[in-house]
């Protein structure tokens, strides 16, 4: 028993000596360099807003999760501009005559809407909502209507019937109704992108319901690339017609090829001309617009779908700060128009058509 105890003591001393020698050896060696930090962490967040979905991809060394903040921000945004929330700023204005601004969102979207309204000679008009609903393209989707009193409704359409200053907005006719569904998603994209920039994020792709803003580059150091859908009446189709590289731009697409119905063999599109009060009837299938901000791109894409191909091209030619990718049809098939500055950023999936 005494002999085994002595052996254990000797083994313990030897073990301690070995550990001490290893420690000295390591201390005398040059410390290894710290590990190189990985490239900015790629983070993707998704969610629901404005009756659709959002998807945001950003590069962040800290791998922060901004989803709770983005959801809260969009909730406040909707509380201002939603027509589906009865207590929203916009809903309360539509129910009354005058409203003092309570947030930055309503005066900002009014200002941009008025600017695009003037630039497009009234083709973009957020007071056209009652006509859209009357023709059967309201919240429940495309549905045939027995009759539409266009003349009666046109009396309440026209953005000139809305006045605003830095403090409030008011109507000249109580029946006028504002609906920013053709510009709000684009504005929401800008708001989210601005928030992320304030958090120090330089590389991002923000998308809400197909409207986008790109900043910086992706994880490979390349421009963010997004697809333009192949015009198809099949709502389940997600075929890509072309790819566009976004160089710090906002992008929005508007189209007539899915939301429609037939009555007496006549095809009725959801895009309503604010001047005539009737659905448009032309060969422009989709308009994709790039601008410095997505709100402007969203509104102008809508205006181009009202105008048709030739007038849309004229509008693009007259504007220095927008680019357009148009898909249209004629008796020979489907064709595209691409503004000159945009051509280097476009690649085709189905073959180039210009």
CA distance 50 to 70: 13
Helices (H), the chain: 2-28, 67-81, 89-95, 105-119, 129-134, 150-154, 184-198, 294-307, 309-318
Which residues partner with 98 through β-bridges? 170
296: tokens are 């402007």
Binding site, residues?
Answer: 182, 298, 302
346: tokens are 């476009």
Considering only CA atoms, which of 316, 319, 298, 206 is closest in space to residue 255?
Answer: 298
Contacts by 103-106, CB closer than 8 A, 24 or more apart = 103/76, 105/77, 105/80, 105/81, 105/187, 105/191, 106/80, 106/81, 106/169
Q: Are 248 and 203 in contact (CB under 8 A)?
A: no
Q: Are 261 and 286 in contact (CB under 8 A)?
A: no
Binding site for Mg(2+), residues?
Answer: 182, 298, 302
CA distance 144 to 140: 11
Helix axes 184-198, 105-119, angle to 10 degrees: 130
Q: Are 250 and 296 in contact (CB under 8 A)?
A: yes
Q: Are 224 and 217 in contact (CB under 8 A)?
A: yes
């Amino acid at each position: 028993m005494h002999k085994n105890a002595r052996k254990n003591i000797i083994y313990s001393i030897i073990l301690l000596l070995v550990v001490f020698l290893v420690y000295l050896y390591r201390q005398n060696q040059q410390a290894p360099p710290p590990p190189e930090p990985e490239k900015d962490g790629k983070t993707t967040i998704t969610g629901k807003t404005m009756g659709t979905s959002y998807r945001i991809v950003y590069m962040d060394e800290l791998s922060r999760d901004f989803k709770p903040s983005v959801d809260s921000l969009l909730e406040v945004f909707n509380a201002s501009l939603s027509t589906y929330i009865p207590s929203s700023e916009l809903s309360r204005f539509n129910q009354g005559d005058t409203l003092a601004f309570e947030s930055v969102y309503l005066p900002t979207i009014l200002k941009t809407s008025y600017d695009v309204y003037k630039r497009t000679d009234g083709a973009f008009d957020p007071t056209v909502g009652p006509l859209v609903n009357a023709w059967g393209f309201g919240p429940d989707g495309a549905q045939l209507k027995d009759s539409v009193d266009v003349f009666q409704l046109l009396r309440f359409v026209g953005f000139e019937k809305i006045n605003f200053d830095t403090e409030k907005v008011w109507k000249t006719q109580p029946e006028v109704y504002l609906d920013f569904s053709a510009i709000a998603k684009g504005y929401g994209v800008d708001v989210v992108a601005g928030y992320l920039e304030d958090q120090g994020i330089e590389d991002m792709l923000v998308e809400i319901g197909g409207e986008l803003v790109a900043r910086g580059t992706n994880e490979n150091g390349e421009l963010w690339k997004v697809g333009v859908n192949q015009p198809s009446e099949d709502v389940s189709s997600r075929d890509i017609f072309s790819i566009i590289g976004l160089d710090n731009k906002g992008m929005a697409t508007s189209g007539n090829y899915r939301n429609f119905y037939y009555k007496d063999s006549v095809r009725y599109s959801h895009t309503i001309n604010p001047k005539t009060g009737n659905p448009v009837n032309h060969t422009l299938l989709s308009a994709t617009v790039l601008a410095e901000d997505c709100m402007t791109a969203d509104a102008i894409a809508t205006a181009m779908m009202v105008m048709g191909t030739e007038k849309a091209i004229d509008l693009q030619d007259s504007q220095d700060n927008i680019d357009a990718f148009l898909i249209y049809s004629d008796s020979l098939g489907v064709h595209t128009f691409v503004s000159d500055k945009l051509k280097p950023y476009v690649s085709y999936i189905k073959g180039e058509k210009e």
